[in-house]
Amino acid sequence: MSTVIEQPVEARLVAAAPRMPNIPATLHYDRSDPFAVRMTFPAPATLEGVEVCWTFARELLAAGLQGPEGHGDVRVRPYGYDRTVLEFHAPEGTAVVHVRSGEVRRFLEATSELVPTGREYLQLDLDHGLAELMRDAC
């Protein structure tokens, strides 16, 4: 069984658009980092001309389907019946993208099959992490 899920999504860029109104973004989930999801945008869609990846909580993405969530660099909220808005705040500016809510739900369902929501902690090797911290402290 794979430990990584990647799902292409079509994101519609609403603000801070350099050149592309629609962006073929990708959602990523890796069982080795069970609390996080990543959303990657291709180089042509960014101001810097390089691929950009945002990492944020899977819980934030799920909660944002129901109502406004997030207070930091990433904010998520529903927009009508079929869209979800993701806002990405950086010192260079803010990007606002719309994604089909159905695509987000399918992605979250796949991640929950891999690691059930609320059971993420079972994927963590706390003993190994603690040993690494202690090794560096000596």
79 backbone dihedrals φ, ψ, rounded to 5°: -140, 100
What does the alpha-carbon distance between residue 83 and residue 87 come to, in Å, rounded to a whole number?
Answer: 13
- How would you write the pLDDT of the chain (138 residues) with one tens digit per residue? 568 888 889 888 775 445 557 888 999 998 888 889 999 988 877 767 788 899 999 999 999 999 999 999 999 999 988 999 999 998 888 889 999 999 999 999 999 987 878 666 656 555 555 566 677 665
CATH number of the domain bearing residue 69: 2.30.31.20
What does the alpha-carbon distance between residue 44 and residue 23 come to, in Å, rounded to a whole number?
Answer: 9
Torsion angle in degrees (nearest 10) through CA of 97, 103, 105, 108: -90
> Residue 122's pLDDT is what?
59
What residues make up the domain containing 127? 2-134
> Residue 19's pLDDT is what?
53
Q: Which residue has the tokens 């090797």?
A: 125
Quote the pTM value.
Answer: 0.79
Number of domains in the chain: 1
Output the six-digit token pair for 107. Answer: 């992605």
